[in-house]
Amino acid sequence: MTEGAVTILNTDGTKPIYVQIAEWIETEIMNGHFKSDDKVYSQYQLAEMYTINPATAAKGLNLLVDEHILYKKRGLGMFVTAKAKEMIMHKRKNQTLKQLVQDLVLEANRLQITEAELIEMIKEEKLEEGGQ
């Protein structure tokens, strides 16, 4: 297991902590810190890392089990499934990114920003982030 930088949880109530835990583990998988069949942090390790209730951490892990991103080995812990990275990419593209684009277009319409202006803004941001 990696001991990478731990994300600070947002406790303002907009997103449940267990969802943030699940998303953090997904990001760790996307970044290659956890690969297929690697063991991930236990609910107790996560609880200690984030100073949260182990039941909350378990709920985040179980969310990923329900989505077939992690699988359980009785008595051994939770492990990354073979297609976890692909599944996360698909989910984030078709749910998260799609919602962000819908919100972006809605706000652009409110601000009377043209499609060309919006596309240019996206291109500029992508360049600043080192994208293509």
Reported pTM: 0.76
Listed residue (15, 2, 18) closest to 53, CA to CA: 18
**Crossing angle (nearest 10°) for helices 54-66 and 17-30:** 60
Q: Convert the pLDDT of each residue in 42-67 to its tens digit.
A: 999 999 999 999 999 999 999 999 99
Q: How far apart are CA 96 and CA 62, in angstroms?
A: 20
Instruction: Encode 56-68: b = buried (16+ Cβ within 10 Å), e = exposed.
Output: bbbbbbbbbeeee
Task: Decide if pLDDT at 1 tops 60.
Answer: no
Structure tokens at 77: 């812990």
Task: Decide if pLDDT at 6 tops 70.
Answer: no
Q: Convert the pLDDT of each residue in 63-74 to its tens digit.
A: 999 999 999 999
